[in-house]
Structure formats: C-alpha cells, structure tokens
Amino acid sequence: MVKSGKRKFVKKEKAKVHLKVSHKTLLPKGQNVTDTNFKVRKIVLHGQLKERGEHEILSKGNLNIKELLSRLNHHNMWQRQSGLEGLIDLVASYPPQTMAVHLSSFLEAASRLTLDCEADIRKLAVKLLSSILTAVDEKQIAPSFEIVIRYLACAMSHINSAVRETSLNVLDVLITKNPKLTAIHCQTVVLPGFLDLISSKLSDTTSRKLTVQINEHTTTSVWRLKVLNSLRSLLSAIVENTSFGSENSSDLNKTVNWKDSCRLHVPLYNPISLKAGPLDFNIFQKAEKNSSTTEIQNYTASLMPLLIDTFIEVAPSKRENKNNSEISLQTASILKCILDIILLLWKIFQNSDNPSEMMSWFSINHGPKICQTFISNGFPYITLNSGGRTPDKVKKHKTDTDVVLDLFGDSMVQSDIKCSKQNIDLCLIYFLLSKYKILPVPVKVISLYINNSLNSYKAIDHQSFVVLMHCLETVSDNNDLIKPKDSFDLNSVIEKLVNIHNEMVITDGRHRQEKTKLVFNFLCSITSKTHLKIAEEVEEFDSWLTLLPEFMCQRKVPYHLVKALSNVSRYNLPQFTKSLNMLKPALLNNVDIVADKKS
C-alpha cells in the first residue's frame, strides 16, 4: 500500500511542467538600467488660494468670520475649539462697530455651545460670551439678548449635570456684564429654573422636595450653595435695576452754562418722559392687575421651604455651647446666601404693587418658621476653623472649603469667624417680621446680641455695621417692640451710641470715616421721632444735643454734616436751639470758611 502510493505521487510530480532558469542569460542592453525620470503635477487647494480683501476681518489663523462660524458647527471638537479661539481673538482685536452685522450670530453661537458635551468647548463659549458683552454696548446687545436667555434656560434644565453647572457660570457673566438686561429678561424665564436645579415637584401637588446631586466632583451641599449664590446675585440685580425711580435720580439735577453774548435757552422739561420705553408684549399680564403679586407669592411659597430644608440638612443638630452654635464654613456660606435671599425678597415686596399686603403675608406665613429654624435652635453662630485652602500639589479636586473661598473670597475665613454678617442679618429679619407678626422668639435674645455688637463695634466690618444701623432704624419705627416692659431697650442703645460717637470724634472730628457718618446720621434721625422722648429719658443724648451745634464752628465743615444739622434744627428741640442761639456769632463768622462742596 505504501509503495503504490509513493509511485503515484512520484508519477504525478514528474507530470508537472518544470520551468528551468538559465543563469547564463542576461537582460538585453538598456533594460538593466533604473529609469530616474518622473513627472510633476500641481496639487491645487482652492480654499487656500482665496484672495483676501484689504480691509477684511481675519483671525490669527487667516480665517474670516464666515469660516470661523462654519467651524463652530463642525463635528470635530478641535475644529469647534479653533473656531471659538478665532472669534475670541477677533472680538479682542477689532472694534465692536466692525462686527455689528455678525453680533447676533456671535451671541447665538456662543450661547449654543454652552450646551456642548465637551467641557473645554463650554469653557471657551463662556469666555467668548464674556468678551462680547464686555466689548459691545448694551443698546446693541439688547435686541439679541433674548437668544442668550433662551439658551441659558435650556442649559439650566439640561440632563447633563456639567452643563447645568456651566449655566450658573453663564448667568454670573450676564449679571456682571449686563445686570440691567439680565434683570429684565430673567424674571419670567430663569427664576423658575432655580427651583428645578435643587428640587423636584411632588406628584399631584404644588409642593417640592430637595433632590440629591449625583456628581463625582461636587457634593450635594456644595451644589446647592452654588445655586443659591447665583439666585442671590440674580435677585440683587433685579432689586438694583428695577427699583422705581432709582435709575433716573441722578439725571434730575443739571448744570446750564451760558454766555452773555448769546441768547439763553434753559430746557424746562423732564427728559425722562422722552426716553424710549421698553417694548412689552405680555398683554395678558397687563390685563390682570394682581398677576405680578400672585406670581411673586407663588414663587416665594415654593422657595422658602426649600431654603429652610437646605439649612436644616447642614446645620448642627444639637447646641453644645449655650452661648452660640459652631457651624462649618460651608454651613455659614449657605446661611449667608439664604438670609441675603430673604432680605432681597423683602425689598421686592416693598417695591411691589401692594407692599404692606405682601410683607404681612410673608411675615404671617413664613415668619414663625424662620425664627424657629434660624434663631431658636442656634443663634448666634460662630464659624469653625477651616484651615484655609488646600495646596494645589496635594489636592486632586477642589474641596468644599476651596469652593466656598472661590465664591466668597478669602475674607470669609479671615474676617468673619464670628459670623457677624449672618447674625446681624438675622436680627434685621426678626425686626422686619415682628412689625406684622408676633414671633415665638423673645426680643431679649436679639437685644442682647445687638448690645454685645455695639460693645465690640471696632471688630465689625463696614457692611455688617451698615446692617446694624438699619436694625436700629427698624426698631425705632416699631413701637410694639419698644413700649412693653419685656421689650427692646432702645434707651440703653442710644446711650451706647452717644458714647461711641464721642469716642469716634476724638480721631475723626470731620466725620470722614463711614462708621462715624452712620452713627452720627442715626442719632440725628432719632431727633425726628419726638414721640419716643429720647432726649428726656437719656441724659447722655440730651448733652449730645447741646454740644451738637459746635460742629459748625470747625474750620472746615463737610456738606453731609451741614445737611444733618439742618434737619435736626427743623424739630426745634430746646437743647439744640438754646445752644445754637448762643453760638450764633461764632457761626456767622464761620460762614465764609464753611465748605460749600459736597465732601
């Protein structure tokens, strides 16, 4: 079997055609030489050979506006990034008048890319938006600003948490660069979006519950802090830019210059009525007189429980020290935002159609809960030592302390360890609410802290001292807190303020420092409240009124001092009038050197 198989294989192999190669034969002459000749053909790229105009706007990459805008729609991330960088370069290099035609396209592209899935693209889009708002005038931005707001509302409700966080950065840019336009356009579109960022609606009800933020780099409390800080900034912009009469008060006084040789023309008309008013297409809102009031009430009713629950989650459960409660820097920052939001809502109520009705509604419905949450269980507060920032070499991601310091600055750690701003804000809120509602917290708790703050007034920063004076002004207007026996002792506070003013005058006789001005103006305003009879009951205040006209005998008298003393003289107080009559000769001799300029 084996031999027969081998025979067949050999026979088969012999049957094949074998090609024999002769090693003796060579290639013919001319065929064994390498041909080095080659042909050249030009490669023409039509895009690179376009002729540029002499005055055409080009980026550093030699691209015009149309090409840069087309790159923003490209699927490649690097193309979109180069397009954004080119537009940022154009905005910074050329005057805004040259790009006025493409302004709406720039804003639309920048706003759209804040929704991009790539973080670097969103960051560049925010930078481009900031550059445009910085370079272009508000009047040119106004027609296209609604586009930005619509994309912002989409970003706030985006499914991606990183895009929602970018929306807060966009809003901060809008508030910083164009607060007036932002305040006008964001009231109906953006404000409701803040509720959805930290809460969700319960089924079949109008109430809400807080939601948990699922993110690798940000905790839920830090996310809520960022949202509340942005909400506070927006409400502040709304209060500052939509208050009645605030924006035109500086235009009432005008200086008219003329020459004797020319005919005098004095404009005796009100220029405010000649200004173009904003277009308002919300016809249905005009038909309902109380629609705005109802809208504010509904928004406040949804927001206040969320603010209270947010603080309850981060506040200490038990008070270890009877005198105060220790809270973390993050909790102090959340408390600061919440109290600022409450005070801003109160200012909105004051500027509403029915201010007394709105403030009464708020005090009755939310006053007891505010006092129980923020005052009964922890007031006053102090901050724990946070240790400052984490070095960049040690940390991989920002800590909660780093986020707080980025939002509020290092001064939050250095100068507000005692939470003076938060505590004084709570005192002010208490006094505002107590005018319309009897609160469960006794006023002695607040009175004790006010007196302690006055004893250490040098350690209080300027902003907190302004709020402290506002507290005292609110108390002096509320007879229900002053008349009863177990009430706020205003007489002792006036006595302390007189001593503080006398101490301040030793080093600041001309009242140049802000604290001296605040104390002096408050004491002068007390003279208008003759029903309190402070001069009869407080001996120090009576002596202070007697010495008051002597400030007019200084070598230089500032304008605000003259104005305050003229208001005091209107009430014909015997102590002040008697001293003023005795100093008449000295005052008349001093008329020529009294400063006639506002300083």
Q: Is the model's pLDDT at 87 over the cut of 50?
A: yes
Q: Is the model's pLDDT at 427 over the cut of 90?
A: yes
Task: In whole angstroms, give the CA distance from residue 314 to residue 222.
Answer: 11
**Above pLDDT 90, what percent of the chain?**
26
Q: Does residue 255 lie in a domain region?
A: no
Q: Does residue 426 lie in a domain region?
A: yes
What band does 470 get if pLDDT is binned at 50, 70 and 90?
very high
Tell me, yes or no, whether 178 and 113 share the same domain. Answer: yes
What band does 246 get if pLDDT is binned at 50, 70 and 90?
very low
Tell me, yes or no, whether 179 and 220 share the same domain. Answer: no
Out of 180, 203, 226, a domain closes at 203
Task: In whole angstroms, give the CA distance from residue 97 to residue 109.
Answer: 19
Average pLDDT on 351-371 reads 91
Q: Does residue 228 lie in a domain region?
A: yes
End-to-end CA distance of the chain: 128
Cβ distance 511 to 561 under 8 Å? yes
Tell me, yes or no, whether 175 and 237 share the same domain. Answer: no
Average pLDDT on 47-64 reads 69
Cβ distance 591 to 555 under 8 Å? no
Average pLDDT on 417-421 reads 85
Task: In whole angstroms, give the CA distance from residue 241 to residue 185.
Answer: 12
Q: Does residue 105 lie in a domain region?
A: yes
Tell me, yes or no, whether 173 and 219 share the same domain. Answer: no
Tell me, yes or no, whether 91 and 192 share the same domain. Answer: yes
Tell me, yes or no, whether 142 and 237 share the same domain. Answer: no
Tell me, yes or no, whether 165 and 305 share the same domain. Answer: no
Task: In whole angstroms, give the CA distance from residue 379 to residue 422.
Answer: 10
Collapsing DSSP to helix, strand or coil, 420 comes out as helix
Q: What is the pLDDT of residue 92?
A: 86
Average pLDDT on 353-369 reads 91
Tell me, yes or no, whether 198 and 66 share the same domain. Answer: yes
Q: Does residue 304 lie in a domain region?
A: yes
Average pLDDT on 233-237 reads 93
Average pLDDT on 296-320 reads 86
Task: In whole angstroms, give the CA distance from residue 363 to residue 355.
Answer: 12
User: pLDDT per residue over 177-196, tens digit each?
Assistant: 999 999 988 888 899 899 99
Q: Does residue 552 lie in a domain region?
A: no
Tell me, yes or no, whether 225 and 372 share the same domain. Answer: yes
What is the distance of C-alpha 437 from the center of its chain?
31
Q: Does residue 6 lie in a domain region?
A: no
Q: What is the pLDDT of residue 398?
A: 66
Nearest to 179 by CA among 237, 233, 240, 231: 237
Cβ distance 471 to 518 under 8 Å? no
Residues in Cβ contact with 309 at an 8 Å cutoff, skipping those fewer than 6 apart = 210
User: pLDDT per residue over 509-541, tens digit each?
Assistant: 667 788 888 988 888 888 888 777 887 888 888
Tell me, yes or no, whether 134 and 160 share the same domain. Answer: yes
Cβ distance 313 to 306 under 8 Å? no
Out of 181, 203, 225, a domain closes at 203
Give the number of other CB atoms < 10 A from CB of residue 547: 13
What band does 248 get if pLDDT is binned at 50, 70 and 90?
very low
What is the distance of C-alpha 513 from the center of its chain?
27
CATH number of the domain that 108 lies in?
A: 1.25.10.10
- How many domains, the chain? 2
Q: Among 374-378, 384-388, 585-589, which is the least confidently predicted range?
A: 384-388
Tell me, yes or no, whether 310 and 428 share the same domain. Answer: yes
Q: H or E stretch including 452?
A: helix 443-455
Task: In whole angstroms, give the CA distance from residue 125 to residue 569.
Answer: 60
Task: In whole angstroms, give the CA distance from residue 50 to residue 107.
Answer: 27
Out of 393, 422, 442, a domain closes at 442
Q: Is the model's pLDDT at 295 over the cut of 90?
A: no
Which among 215-219, 268-272, 296-300 has the top mean pLDDT? 296-300
DSSP 3-state percent helix, strand, coil across the chain (nearest 5): 65, 0, 35
Question: For residue 344, what are the domain limits?
Answer: 212-243+292-314+325-385+401-442
Q: What is the pLDDT of residue 126?
A: 94
Q: What is the pLDDT of residue 245?
A: 38
- Its sign, for the CA torsion 235, 238, 240, 242, is negative
Quote the crossing angle between the two packed helices 514-526 and 462-476, to the nearest 10°: 0
Look at the chain and count its residues. 599
Q: What is the pLDDT of residue 232?
A: 94
Tokens found for residue 470: 């506002």
CA within 13 Å, CB half, 237: 24
Q: What is the pLDDT of residue 31?
A: 66
DSSP 372: I
Tokens found for residue 388: 């400052």
Q: Does residue 2 lie in a domain region?
A: no
Tell me, yes or no, whether 301 and 231 share the same domain. Answer: yes
Average pLDDT on 111-116 reads 93
Q: What is the pLDDT of residue 467?
A: 92
Tokens found for residue 136: 């272009």
Q: Is the model's pLDDT at 283 over the cut of 50?
A: no
Indicate the average pLDDT of the chain. Answer: 80
